[in-house]
């Protein structure tokens, strides 16, 4: 079977790798494979700390992927010879004022109702764990199961693993889905080449709803949600600046600090509905630094190494669209919103199974794109991809 993957971000790459491991011939179409939202993402594996009311079904998928992460990272490192920066460090979510504290208490209650492990700490206990925290911290939740990975290293290792498994890369933009005889038949590239195949997987992140030629009733309802992210450098030394991911809700906005063993400290993230805009703004940087500084005042002494903005691919219910569509020959792996890096292992496994058998494994079945079939009229207005 020949599979064409439209999109070479971490979701497209992991699907390509797993499909190639099952003996399929795979071509990844992307002008810049290894790019996409993972180049900006912090890499939190936050199944428990990013739990939201009404998203219990998504929690099941998130937990399934989190459980696979250690083995997935070890296998990928072994195959690629590259470290992916997987760190089983846990997370501390803290509250800075009474409102934040009430919000965190509600999250704790929801976690308990869902059978998740988290522990309520006083402000003093939080600072004992992380001495750089502000003295005003009012309490927090210790979540020892929410870890981190380095998304840039992950993408690089997936590129190597794909190449080793025989995946072919076409560094071009997919311009149009080719449909004939009521099924997807391949992809027209911007350079004029036509790639015929048995199955197309649309894994184009936030651009997945923009591919020309996809019939309206199967066009994924995915929109971009902008996130601005900063990268700082922590000083080397025997005592770590932060030893785990630290996060808070400050004035209603999420801020998180993800410390890596190589000294990088990632500060994220804004969440902005601004279409395709990826400008890093003074306001975005200001808000992130202001909120992060309230959390960890010493952070403003650190060198600021990088500012970037990326686009999360968001679906109407914040959950991914996985597997076969109503158009034979077209499958989706998109709409992962805030969880693309976390969901990478389970997405690769689910899509490879779906390509091989035509059926999603049970854990992924609730995420069939067919759940939006009745809302086809609500699909995003088609905008042709720029050539
Ligand atoms: N999961 C973190 C974010 O999307 O900002």
Going along the chain from its start, the domains and CATH numbers come out as 2-40+153-222+316-382 (3.50.50.60), 91-144+224-314 (3.30.9.10)
User: Measured from the CA of 46, which atom of ligand 1 is nearest?
Assistant: 1
Q: Is the dihedral of CA 150, 44, 42, 384 positive or negative?
A: positive
Q: What is the pLDDT, as a whole number, of residue 250? A: 84
Which candidate, 92, 88, 103, places its Cα nearest to that of 126? 92
User: Measured from the CA of 337, which atom of ligand 1 is nearest?
Assistant: 4
Q: Which of 39, 91, 227, 248 to mutate to test the pocket of ligand 1 (most atoms within 8 A of CB)?
A: 227
- Residue 330 phi/psi, 5° resolution? -120, 120
Which candidate, 152, 127, 154, 121, places its Cα nearest to that of 139? 121
User: Ligand 1: distance of its center to the CA of 166 in Å?
Assistant: 32
Regarding the beta carbon of 44 and ligand 1, being less than 6 Å apart is answered: yes
d(CA 346, CA 11): 10
d(CA 194, CA 208): 19
Q: What is the pLDDT, as a whole number, of residue 384? A: 42
Q: In what order do the strands lie in the sheet with 321-324?
A: 168-170, 25-29, 2-6, 199-202, 330-334, 321-324
Residues 6+ apart with CB under 8 A from 134: 96, 294, 295, 296, 297
Regarding the beta carbon of 268 and ligand 1, being less than 6 Å apart is answered: yes
Q: What is the pLDDT, as a whole number, of residue 377? A: 43
Q: What is the pLDDT, as a whole number, of residue 375? A: 54
Query: Is 257 in contact with 247 (CB distance < 8 Å)?
Result: yes
User: Ligand 1: distance of its center to the CA of 42 in Å?
Assistant: 7
d(CA 64, CA 71): 12
Q: What is the pLDDT, as a whole number, of residue 374? A: 60
Which candidate, 130, 83, 131, places its Cα nearest to that of 262? 83
Q: Whose CA is nearest to atom 5 of ligand 1?
A: 269
Low-confidence ranges of the chain (pLDDT < 70): 374-387
User: Measured from the CA of 339, which atom of ligand 1 is nearest?
Assistant: 1
Regarding the beta carbon of 312 and ligand 1, being less than 6 Å apart is answered: yes
Q: Which of 51, 312, 336 to mutate to test the pocket of ligand 1 (most atoms within 8 A of CB)?
A: 312
Regarding the beta carbon of 147 and ligand 1, being less than 6 Å apart is answered: no
Residues 6+ apart with CB under 8 A from 339: 50, 58, 62, 320
Q: Whose CA is nearest to atom 3 of ligand 1?
A: 338
Which candidate, 228, 315, 231, places its Cα nearest to that of 272? 228
User: Measured from the CA of 268, which atom of ligand 1 is nearest?
Assistant: 5
d(CA 305, CA 303): 6
d(CA 153, CA 338): 19
d(CA 373, CA 232): 44
Q: What is the pLDDT, as a whole number, of residue 252? A: 75
Rg of the chain's alpha carbons, rounded to an integer?
Answer: 21
Residues 6+ apart with CB under 8 A from 199: 1, 2, 3, 4, 184, 329, 330, 331, 355
Counting DSSP H helices and E strands in the chain, the numbers are 7, 19
User: Ligand 1: distance of its center to the CA of 181 in Å?
Assistant: 41
Q: Which of 43, 48, 50 to mutate to test the pocket of ligand 1 (most atoms within 8 A of CB)?
A: 50
Query: Is 227 in contact with 32 (CB distance < 8 Å)?
Result: no
Q: What is the pLDDT, as a whole number, of residue 190? A: 96
């Amino acid at each position: 079977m020949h599979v064409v993957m439209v999109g070479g971000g971490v979701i497209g790459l992991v699907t390509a790798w797993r499909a190639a491991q099952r003996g399929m011939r795979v071509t990844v179409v992307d002008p810049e494979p290894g790019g996409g939202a993972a180049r900006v993402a912090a890499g939190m594996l936050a199944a428990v700390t990013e739990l939201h009311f009404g998203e219990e079904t998504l929690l099941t998928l998130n937990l399934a992927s989190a459980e696979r992460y250690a083995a997935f990272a070890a296998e990928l490192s072994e195959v690629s010879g590259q470290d992916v920066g997987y760190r089983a460090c846990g997370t501390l979510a803290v509250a800075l004022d009474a409102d934040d504290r009430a919000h965190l208490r509600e999250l704790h209650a929801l976690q308990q109702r869902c059978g998740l492990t988290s522990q309520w700490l006083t402000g003093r206990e939080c600072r004992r764990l992380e001495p750089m925290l502000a003295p005003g911290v009012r309490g927090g939740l210790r979540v020892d199961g929410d870890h981190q990975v380095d998304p840039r290293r992950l993408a690089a290792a997936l590129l190597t693993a794909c190449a080793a498994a025989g995946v072919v890369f076409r560094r071009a933009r997919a311009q149009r889905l080719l449909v004939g005889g009521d099924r997807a038949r391949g992809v027209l590239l911007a350079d004029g080449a036509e790639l015929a195949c048995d199955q197309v997987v649309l894994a184009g992140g936030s651009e997945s709803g923009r591919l020309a030629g996809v019939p309206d009733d199967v066009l994924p309802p995915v929109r971009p949600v902008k996130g601005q992210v900063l990268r700082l450098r922590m000083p080397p030394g025997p005592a770590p600046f932060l030893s785990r991911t630290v996060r808070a809700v400050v004035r209603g906005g999420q801020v998180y600090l993800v410390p890596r063993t190589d000294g990088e400290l990632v500060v994220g993230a804004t969440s902005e509905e601004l279409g395709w805009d990826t400008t890093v703004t003074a306001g975005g940087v200001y808000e992130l630094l202001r909120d992060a500084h309230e959390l960890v005042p010493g952070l403003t002494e650190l060198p600021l190494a990088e500012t970037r903005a990326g686009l999360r691919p968001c679906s109407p219910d914040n959950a991914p669209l996985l597997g076969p569509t109503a158009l034979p020959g077209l499958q989706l792996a998109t709409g992962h919103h805030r969880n693309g890096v976390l969901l990478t292992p389970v997405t690769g496994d689910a899509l490879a199974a779906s390509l091989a058998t035509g059926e999603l494994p049970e854990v992924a079945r609730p995420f069939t794109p067919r759940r939006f079939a009745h809302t086809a009229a609500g699909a995003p207005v088609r905008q042709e991809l720029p050539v």
